[in-house]
Structure 1
Amino acid sequence: MRSSSIRSIRRSELSQATFEAVVRFGIRGTTLEKVGEIAGVSKGVVLHHFKDKSSLLAAVFRRSNTLLSESVVELYRHAESPYERLWAIIVSNFHETIYNRRVCQAWVSLISETPHNKQCQRIQIANNARIRSNLLNELKHFLGPEDAKLAARLLGVLIDGIWVRSGSLSEPVESKLAIGEAEYAIMKLLPNDAKSIAKHKAARARMETIAGIALGSKAFRDRSIQN
């Protein structure tokens, strides 16, 4: 049991070191030697836990997607209506603990690897399906079945697009701007009468406040891929 725990910790440390290497050197410049140097271990230790660079990159990919999933779950715990659960998804994807320049740039490098890495492909397909499912579960409270499916797909594409743009440019990454762009799309896709708009704005404000406490806590930041 202890051996398994130590192995898990070491793999997590190496995943973090790989993420740091991708931030510094990009995918092409990331080597097992550099990962070992950042982690303070030899290349042999890296190979003991991951058979090759491809497996290591897949582990980083899985870790980053797991963190996003955990942030949604954390905000879901406090959401009390379909409005708040919808905004829990949006806010968790763009909270500054996760959505920042270093993470966005590394994520763009990692996503470029997916056409050439079947492990990363499987992880990303599963992640896309999870986000779409989460969105659909809430959107069905506002739209008919077919419209809800289309809206879930479009919002999922928008989330990915904002991340790609933010990771591709050298401009500062602003959480509130990204959430505001998502809000604009939501107001166009969903009923936008005065009562609905007021409920959306209240839900967004509450989820952002809770995210500042829950996702901004030291405990959550210590698990974040930015540290």
Structure 2
Amino acid sequence: MGRKSIADIRRVEFATAAFEVLSIHGMKGTTLQRVADHTGASKASVLHYFSNKQILIETALRQANATLRKEAVALMNLASTPWEKFYGILEANFSPTTFRPEVAHGWISMCAEVPHNPQFQRLQTVIYRRLHSNLVTALKETGMTPAEAERGANVVSLLIDGIWMRCGLQIGGLNREDAFAHIEGVLNNLFGDLTERHSAKTKMSALANALTLNAAKP
């Protein structure tokens, strides 16, 4: 794999800064100047790579989602059973690297703009469809009927969104452990208290923690 160009590195740097500024100031308060100040660069430098705020924010959101997608793919590749694939998806959606209030703030800011912004609407539609498709596929492989898998995927995706919203609003200090406790309570009612499901959760949780630790190494 070749080295990234300086231009690619700068784009990633500015996109990362844009998401951080978005998390702090919201959509209205996010400006090219603030993004520049956040990185110690000039506004002209940001404009050299991104012609306007719209393109920069969209790139930032795609980059944030790519991090989640990369973790989901890595975990699903390590899964050997349908329930392990299912929990690989959940672990990626609540990864310690992404399930944090500051990241959730940025996501909430973007969601508030979705009804008014066709680009954000398309991006969010792609994200939802991918999540739904992955969940349905994993649940079908457990032996559920298509209707059962659809119902289960819908409930789980709604639960994921609700927990992320709660995290972003910081109501009640919801953390990753609390999130999974709520999810397990719903899953027990939805799918039954299955030993194989709990075994899959334990395995994928350990793998997710290992991936996080490896990613944090210099």
Match of 1:138 in 2: 138
Secondary structure in 2 matching 1:51: coil
Stretch of structure 1 that moved more, 44-53 or 169-178: 169-178
What percent of counterpart residues are identical? 33
Q: Matched residues in 2 for 1:39 and 1:173: separation?
A: 30
Large movers: runs of 4+ above 4 Å: none
Secondary structure in 1 matching 2:213: coil
Q: Aligned pair count?
A: 216
- Is residue 206 from structure 1 mapped to residue 207 from structure 2 by the alignment? no
1:90–1:182: 8 Å Cα contact kept in structure 2? no
Match of 2:213 in 1: 216
Q: Deviations over 1:139-159 (max 9, x none)?
A: 112421112112212211111
Q: Which runs of 5+ in 2 are unaligned?
A: none
| Aligned partner letter, 1:25 | H
| Aligned partner letter, 2:68 | L
Secondary structure in 2 matching 1:112: helix
Q: Matched residues in 2 for 1:70 and 1:163: separation?
A: 19
1:114–1:120: 8 Å Cα contact kept in structure 2? yes
Counterparts of 1:1-227 in structure 2 under 5 Å? 5-140=5-140, 141-169=142-170, 171-190=172-191, 192=192, 197-219=194-216
| Aligned partner letter, 1:214 | L
Q: Matched residues in 1 for 2:4 and 2:208: separation?
A: 33
State the 1:36 CA deviation. 0.7
Q: Which runs of 5+ in 1 are unaligned?
A: 223-227
RMSD: 2.0
| Aligned partner letter, 1:5 | S
Give the TM-score of the pair, scaled to structure 2: 0.91
Q: Matched residues in 1 for 2:113 and 2:3: separation?
A: 32
Give the TM-score of the pair, scaled to structure 1: 0.88
State the 1:128 CA deviation. 0.4
**Greater RCO, CA 8 A, separation 6+:** 1
